[in-house]
Structure 1
Amino acid sequence: MRVLVTGASGRLGTALLPRLAEGGWTVRAMSRRERQEGAGAGRDPGAGGVEWVRADLATGAGVEAALRGADAVVHLAAAPYRGRYTARVEVAGTERLLAAAAAAGVGHVLYTSIVGCDRVPWGYFRTKAAAESVLAGGGVPWSVLRATQFHSFLDRVLTLGARGGLLVADRRIPAQPVDVAEVAARLAERVADGPSGAVEDFAGPEVLGMEEAARQWLEARGKRRPVLRVRVPGGLGRAFRAGHLTNEAAPTGRVTWRSYLAATGR
């Protein structure tokens, strides 16, 4: 059985590819950029490696060829916060992918999305919700796995914020960060299970207030910064404070924020 992974060179794709190969799948990894020598280009999947192909969802170039012979697709490709290009990749690109998948006889497209994308009035979240709608009406058996924010994303946000000499946090906004490797493991399970025609949420094991998450980060990274309490205004703030970035559904990951911080060092 062959599975195509779009956006395979990203953080989640890098974690997912070996899990799929270990699970017995023949893995074809799709990237917009040419793979460099030694980075896995052209490796024989029959030898336990990954076959890399070049294709561009924004233009459609190479997509039909990438799907040839694929039984399933894990659709990870994303282009967040890049203006009109984001929609070209994530909405129009998903339409192109599904049309080609239907023509190729693909039996399952599994899409990765974000917990709360249908309830948080934020541009990029709306893009993810729009892509989910495209998937549901695309004529190919489908599943969606929504994840909460990765530990590494929250880490990066706090790192950038600390450069200004302090951290700001709305202490009433809860977060539920999740380990990227655990999301990859769940995706591998969902591929094996086949299409569900439903949305599943997958979140981290604990819900933390943003102020507490920031203080744990400062302690783990050995930094001294004041934490300024702010209130995120408007509908966006209300959606965040309502807990729409979190979820009580099972299963969840096991790696806590503090464990991630300890493992990644200062």
Structure 2
Amino acid sequence: MTTILVTGGTGTLGRLVVERLRADGHEVRVLSRHTPPYAVDLREGGPALDAAVAGVETIVHCATAPKGDEESAAHLIAAARGAGVAHLLYISIVGVDRIPFGYYETKFAVEHLIERSGLGWTVLRTTQFHDLVAKLLGTLCRSPVVPLPAGVRDQPIDAAEVAARLAELAVAPPAGRVPDMGGPEVRTFPSLARSYLKATGRRRPLLNVPLPGRAYRAFRQGHHLAPTEAVGKRTFEEFLRTRPQSSRRP
């Protein structure tokens, strides 16, 4: 049985990774800012983080925030080195090396920190989760006319499928950059929006809006997609049908 620490272990992805690893019989420590006994703010590090990683063989790093991810990763790496952790597994995003978008650039910087850490490491990049696409569309569809980024496609993937892959990688030897993982379909935003509106019982006209900037151009060129790695099985429509009723309300 392997002792595994999952950072961000109460989040959308992290909790699914924890459930999968525990179902497979592993001892799992859940690290998050507010959940004892391993309540740790990675941006601060310190003795609480050292205690969380002590005796751990593998860390699955799912924690992320709008700011501070590089600092958090540096603290985690230092603690992992001190504890003799054998394997650091990081979840990243397809396109972080090609899209000049602030959050993506930070994820790419964290990849570099991990690669240079001296630890055994694995990095898995995936396309966007169904949950994130649904959340974005939920915000956009509040408007009487739904504004959509013109010419942008997406390839949403189910978080549970990513969690299953991370659980596999966590108990395997460090593998460096592994093949990207993409959702089953590359979709236009209008098609995703129409599916979302149907699932939530609404009708709205759609408006394709061209956006300025290098990041938008990179998204329009599809640098966030992985069409040759479309290994996901669950479609966006299947995800929408199985969401809790409370999350389907307009």
The bucket for the TM-score relative to the shorter chain is over 0.9
* 2:157 alignment counterpart: 178
Give the drift of 1:199: 4.2
Give the drift of 1:249: 4.0
Contact 2:186 2:227 in 1 (8 A): no
**Matched residue type, 1:136:** E
* 1:59 alignment counterpart: 44
Moved more, 167-176 or 239-248: 167-176
Unaligned runs of 5+ in 2: none
Structure 1 stretches of 4+ with a deviation exceeding 4 A read: none
Contact 2:127 2:181 in 1 (8 A): yes
* 1:13 alignment counterpart: 14
The separation in 2 between residues aligned to 1:169 and 1:93, in whole angstroms, is: 33
* 1:40 alignment counterpart: none
Give the drift of 1:250: 3.4
* 1:164 alignment counterpart: 143
Give the drift of 1:24: 2.3
Contact 1:53 1:66 in 2 (8 A): yes
Over 3 Å counting, the alpha-carbon distance change for 1:26 and 1:34 in structure 2 is closer
Contact 1:151 1:257 in 2 (8 A): yes
**Matched residue type, 2:81:** A
Give the drift of 1:167: 1.0
Give the drift of 1:232: 2.2
The alignment status of 1:213 with 2:197, answered yes or no, reads no
Moved more, 192-201 or 118-127: 192-201
The separation in 2 between residues aligned to 1:206 and 1:229, in whole angstroms, is: 20
- SS of 1:4's equivalent in the other structure is strand
* 1:99 alignment counterpart: 78
* 1:25 alignment counterpart: 26
Q: Which of 92, 112, 126 does residue 105 from structure 2 map onto?
A: 126
- SS of 1:193's equivalent in the other structure is coil
Alignment map for 1:27-42 (pairs within 5 Å) = 27-35=28-36
The separation in 2 between residues aligned to 1:251 and 1:226, in whole angstroms, is: 30
The alignment status of 1:71 with 2:38, answered yes or no, reads no
Identity of aligned residues (%): 42
Unaligned runs of 5+ in 1: 36-51, 81-85
The alignment status of 1:155 with 2:134, answered yes or no, reads yes
Q: Which of 184, 201, 205 does residue 222 from structure 1 map onto?
A: 201
The separation in 2 between residues aligned to 1:123 and 1:193, in whole angstroms, is: 32
**Matched residue type, 1:77:** A
The separation in 2 between residues aligned to 1:3 and 1:258, in whole angstroms, is: 33
Task: State the structure with bigger RCO (CA 8 A, min sep 6), 1 or 2.
Answer: 2
Give the drift of 1:171: 4.4
Contact 2:148 2:190 in 1 (8 A): yes
Please report the TM-score for the alignment, with normalisation by the length of structure 2: 0.93
Give the drift of 1:76: 0.7
Give the drift of 1:59: 0.6
1:25-73 superposed Cα distances (whole Å, 9 cap, x missing partner):
11111111144xxxxxxxxxxxxxxxx4122211113111100000000
Contact 1:179 1:253 in 2 (8 A): yes
The alignment status of 1:258 with 2:237, answered yes or no, reads yes
The separation in 1 between residues aligned to 2:229 and 2:211, in whole angstroms, is: 29
The separation in 2 between residues aligned to 1:56 and 1:170, in whole angstroms, is: 35
The number of residues matched between the two structures is 243
* 1:39 alignment counterpart: none
- SS of 1:110's equivalent in the other structure is strand
1:205-235 superposed Cα distances (whole Å, 9 cap, x missing partner):
0000111111111122111111001112221
